Amino acid sequence: MKFGVITFPGSNCDADMIYVLESLFNQKVERLWHKDTDLKGVDFVILPGGFSYGDYLRSGAIANYSPIMTEVVKHAEKGGYVMGICNGFQILCESKLLPGTLLHNNNQKFICKNIHLKADNNASIVNAHIDTKQALKIPIAHGEGRYFASEETIAELNANNQIIFRYCDENGDITEESNPNGSLENIAGVCNAGKNVFGMMPHPERAADAELGNVDGALIFESILGLIKA
């Protein structure tokens, strides 16, 4: 398995993601630049968190027009794996590889703290090996993380098991109080209908190293690698 991590102007979690994949999970990682027009043979593309292009216009909107996104879309359309974390999730929604959009948090403030989430199902490689009753403590850091989509789209996501994670409390209960940003139905992450493109606002790469005192995020990487390791 060969991962590719894209760096856009303003990315700030690319190095974190590379460290986790290379040093903690012993994976091959290709460093990709937003102006590249070749994915260099990677199997799994990751769009990391950050503030691409300073979040001007709208988070992820300008990055969607970076040259490499043409190749990312082609890769996804062929069934290749793509995952976006935080700003990467926003970019994937802008590119229409994922349904819905991310709006300003309902309190209109940037939120940076640990939250809890739980796998909504075991239907994708991202959550297949995660106990749906287990609450994972994962950090968030975003100003535009409120997931929104039409009623029809939300119904489709639920019917097709495309909601991969929902915000919950430490006991695994999905409540209004445990929703940090006002996302519809406490949605923290979704995937496409083909279940090869994934997006989530929380940062599992920031909760994967024992040195940080939290390895709940490692379960997400373990789930992925447990199913697609080559």
| Alpha-carbon distances, residue 55 vs 8, 29, 58, 93, 191 (angstroms) | 11, 26, 6, 14, 23
Which domains are delineated in the chain? 2-228 (3.40.50.880)
pLDDT of residue 229: 64
| Strand, coil or helix: 206 | helix
pLDDT of residue 56: 83
For every one of its 230 residues, what pLDDT tens digit does the chain have, with 9 covering 90 and above? Answer: 899 999 999 999 999 999 999 999 999 999 999 999 999 999 999 999 999 999 887 889 999 999 999 999 999 999 999 999 999 999 999 999 999 999 999 999 999 999 999 999 999 999 999 999 999 999 999 999 999 999 999 999 999 999 999 999 999 999 999 999 999 999 999 999 999 999 999 999 999 999 999 999 999 999 999 998 64
Instruction: For residue 192, count CB atoms less than 10 angstroms from its CB and return exposed for 0-12, middle for 13-18, buried for 19 or more.
Output: buried
* Residue 85: φ, ψ to 5°: -110, 125
- Contacts for 60 with CB less than 8 Å, ≥ 6 apart: 52, 87, 89, 90, 91, 92, 93, 94, 102
- Are 132 and 119 spatial neighbours (Cβ–Cβ below 8 Å)? yes
Can you give the pTM of this predicted structure? 0.96
Which residues are annotated as catalytic? 86, 203, 205
- Are 131 and 83 spatial neighbours (Cβ–Cβ below 8 Å)? no
